[in-house]
């Protein structure tokens, strides 16, 4: 199977006064198309930083990120933003839903920043896939945490991305809701052939992925 994205000798450093602090140190990682990978490690290990670098959100201090062979950080900023919007779906610990919009609108607006007829049609199809069509006119405040995270996932899928990057998506949820969100990720991987990278501190959930990468102090400890 071909690699969808390749990270080569990735480093990311920050300055803390006079001191240089490395969040990520010389990490190389290949992610195959249709993979389901979990990245685990203690808080502050560099998991989220690595995920953001892979998704084009945070430029590394050193190394390259190639998507289907093309270095994304050699793209102009506008080109990379367009690539990120079309090819990557992000799901975070906090749902970032717009409280003033209903659920259908929250999903549809992620298509192109506008509420178009086409976007509404796709959003409704996603809600049907998630068995949440009856919630389409609800507002975020009317949903449970697990339901809100499902809507965040639907929003991430609106542009039919190849790669879904999940940063602690179950961190705020109870066990039942955690299981339902991970079951949905598994379903997206097997039925929709989505490539998924899940950052989590929950080893029980991570073990359900097809591959686990452990990061400690900014480096890969084992896989």
Average pLDDT, rounded, for the chain:
90
Q: φ and ψ at 21, to 5 degrees?
A: -120, 125
pLDDT at 19: 84
User: Each residue of 44-60: pLDDT tens digit?
Assistant: 889 999 999 999 999 99
Kind and range of the H or E element at 24? strand 19-32
SS3 letters across 140-203: HHHCCHHHHHHHHHHHHHCCCCCEEEEECCCCCCCHHHHHHHHHHHHHHHHHCCCEEEEECCCH
Distance, in Å, from the CA atom of 134 to the CA atom of 173, rounded to the nearest integer, reads 22
Does residue 99 register a pLDDT over 70? Answer: yes
Does residue 181 register a pLDDT over 90? Answer: no
Q: What is the CATH number of the domain that holds 160?
A: 3.40.50.300
Could you tell me the two tokens for 36?
């389901």
For the chain, what is the domain count?
A: 1
Q: Is the CB of residue 166 less than 8 Å from the CB of residue 91?
A: yes
Give the pLDDT band (50/70/90) at residue 111. confident
Contacts of 50 (CB under 8 A, 6+ apart): 7, 10, 24, 27, 29, 39, 215
Contacts of 44 (CB under 8 A, 6+ apart): none
Alpha helices in the chain (DSSP H): 47-54, 77-87, 103-108, 117-129, 145-157, 175-191, 203-206
Could you tell me the two tokens for 113?
């920043």
pLDDT at 114: 64
Distance, in Å, from the CA atom of 61 to the CA atom of 209, rounded to the nearest integer, reads 29
User: Each residue of 117-144: pLDDT tens digit?
Assistant: 888 999 999 999 888 899 999 999 999 8
pLDDT at 222: 65
Stretch 94-98: mean pLDDT? 82
pLDDT at 165: 95
User: To the nearest whole percent, how much of the chain has pLDDT over 70?
Assistant: 97
Give the pLDDT band (50/70/90) at residue 80. very high
* Full residue range of the structural domain in which residue 128 is found: 3-222
């Amino acid at each position: 199977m071909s690699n969808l994205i390749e990270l080569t000798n990735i480093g990311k450093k920050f300055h803390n006064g006079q001191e240089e602090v490395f969040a990520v140190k010389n990490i190389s990682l290949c992610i195959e198309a249709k993979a389901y990978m979990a990245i685990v490690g203690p808080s502050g290990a560099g998991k989220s930083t690595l995920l953001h670098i892979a998704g084009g959100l945070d430029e590394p201090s050193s190394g390259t990120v190639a998507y289907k062979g093309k270095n994304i950080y050699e793209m102009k900023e506008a080109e990379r933003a367009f690539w990120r919007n079309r090819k990557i779906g992000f799901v975070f610990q906090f749902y970032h839903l717009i409280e003033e919009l209903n659920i259908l609108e929250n999903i549809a607006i992620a298509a192109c920043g506008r509420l178009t007829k086409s976007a509404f049609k796709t959003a409704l199809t996603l809600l049907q896939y998630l068995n949440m069509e009856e919630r389409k006119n609800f507002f975020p405040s009317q949903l449970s945490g697990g339901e809100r995270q499902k809507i965040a996932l639907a929003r991430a899928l609106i542009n039919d991305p190849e790669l879904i990057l999940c940063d602690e998506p179950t961190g705020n949820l109870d066990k039942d809701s955690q299981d339902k969100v991970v079951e949905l990720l598994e379903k997206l991987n097997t039925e929709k052939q989505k490539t998924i990278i899940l950052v989590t501190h929950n080893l029980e959930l991570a073990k359900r992925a097809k591959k686990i990468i452990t990061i400690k102090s900014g480096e890969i400890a084992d896989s």
